[in-house]
Structure 1
Amino acid sequence: MSKSKIFKLGCLFSVASLFIAIIVFIYFSTRPNHIHFQGQPFSDALIAENTDFLEHSIPSYLKTSANHDVIYQAMIIEEALDREVIFRTLIRLDSTFKFEHQFPLNTSEIIELSNSISFAEFYNQTFSARLRLLRGDEISDGISIFIYAKPPDHDTIITLQNGSYELRSMEEDKIGFYKDLIVYDENKHYLFFERHRYFAFQ
């Protein structure tokens, strides 16, 4: 095959790839957003599919199958050429935990913690695990939100008086990253966990 034909094929392939990428981007950016209210906690398969990162899957004690007192769960999925997921869960456990940063917190730790929680506002060293729901037309296109809340309307306020928290993260080239936040409220035996997972465009 001549060099000119190889060059033409290469150009054709590049144009076709660009065209497909544009079509995919338009599809995801204009796809209607959805809020799905679940009647039961998320399946472990759904959680794993949207949060696993190499060998760093979510700890087994946070999974639905290992716990029957799931109070609240939310998953925000944003898809375009790449994919971004925020998963959070609030569970009640009889076990006790001790993480890196102990409560009460100093000023810098409070700032670090508040900056690490998605869509949450602090008030007197407390915050709610619940998402502040927006109207459908206020959510960007291409975003799906899944929510489970244990009936009846359970308390989802985490207090930062006694307990601890920890941050974990890892980034891998061409794969993406994950950032974990885990908070233990010793007074209520609440364990709050949030993973921010970014899937790099392949």
Structure 2
Amino acid sequence: MTEKVIIAGFGGQGVMSMGQLMAYSGMMENKNVSWLPSYGPEMRGGTANCNVVVSDLPVGSPIITGDASTVIVMNLPSLLKFEQNLKSGGKIIINDSLIEEKTSREDVDAYYISANDLANELGNSRVANIVMLGAFLELTKILAVDTVGKALKKVYAGKEELVPLNVKALEKGAEAIKKQKQIAKKFKGIKKM
């Protein structure tokens, strides 16, 4: 199984740390990984994106062009720029706390997560990226949530008090996907007249 993921947003939204956490968790599960960051001219507030590949097979290239299996977008410029890099049948996860538009693609599965709102419910808007990561994990099952929890403990060594909040953020993202799937299932059961 291989996941080619593009994560994009403004600098300061945790785009790079989300990608690093994915790659680090993949290494902990003995998978082949790559993480390729790309920064805009400004670090905080400028555009930022990264390509992450997590695979059971060797990774040929860290660059993802038009064949991403998942695109995670945190803001509107990222949606407009990267939705075309998603392969047909892929998944796009959109932070609809900040993006009012829907994807223009009809050949992909779109999921709308109110990441900032859910992070605020937890009392810290800075975990919106981890909410999105939780949604990604629930959708793809490419990495175990427990592994990501262990990776968080290593990332926050010396700041262990941040781990429980981040684990709750992962859970919030997963719950949001489960709710969307339940709603979609109900609508599929309704016959058109």
TM score, norm. by length of structure 2: 0.25
The structure with the larger Rg is: 1
Q: Which has the higher contact order (CA 8 A, sep 6+)?
A: 1
More helix by share: 2
